[in-house]
Amino acid sequence: MEEGLGKFVNEGERETCAEEPVEKWDMEKGLREIAETFENLFALPHVDIKTYSPLTLAYMGDGIYELIIRTILVKQGNAQAGRLHKRASSLVKASAQAAMLQAFKEDLTEEELAVFKRGRNAHPGTMAKNATVSDYKKATGFEALMGYLYLKGDWERLFELVRQGLTKGEFICDMKHLP
């Protein structure tokens, strides 16, 4: 057995680690290594994220936020794709993102609040058909913040805010397996 891996014990349907402790994963280091590998593999240039438009940040944030939600839902257990899509859609729509933002807005740093406001005040030229103007603007700000944190490499903060948004208020019933 390799050092630090521990022994896996089958408890019902889940394997758990027993006896030897497994070293806790250093999330910040691990995510930084992933980002560096991504940049090196695709020969991506370093760009100062403060130069990105708020709509570019929102574009990136939309994708990363949906990936986080899909990952959470899939990791909760196998389900039909249609059911997963319905649950994900209820959490990635503009009204849900606006509500999530309200759940953690008071905890944002000055820098994060400034990014949100830039995204909220951007003029996308389109509107979601099933959202109010207010929700759509807040959702764009939310997505800009998600994109900013992702591109900045502050994944821990990104995950913290998403978790905080999901566990406060109306989303707790959709995310019943979150600790």
Q: Quick check: is 62 catalytic?
A: yes
Q: What secondary structure does DSSP assign to 88-144, as a single string?
A: HHHHHSHHHHHHHHHHHGGG--HHHHHHHHHHHT---S---TTS-HHHHHHHHHHHH
Angle at the Cα of 27 from the Cα atoms of 64 and 93, rounded to 5 degrees = 20
Tokens (6 digits) for 68: 């986080």
Catalytic option among 26, 62, 154, 174: 62
Angle of the 155-167 helix axis to the 94-104 helix axis, nearest 10: 100
Are the beta carbons of 6 and 18 closer than 8 angstroms?
Answer: yes
| Radius of gyration over every alpha carbon of the chain, rounded to an integer in angstroms | 18
In sequence order, which ranges of 24-109 are alpha helices (DSSP H)? 27-41, 54-75, 81-92, 94-104
**What are the catalytic residues?**
62
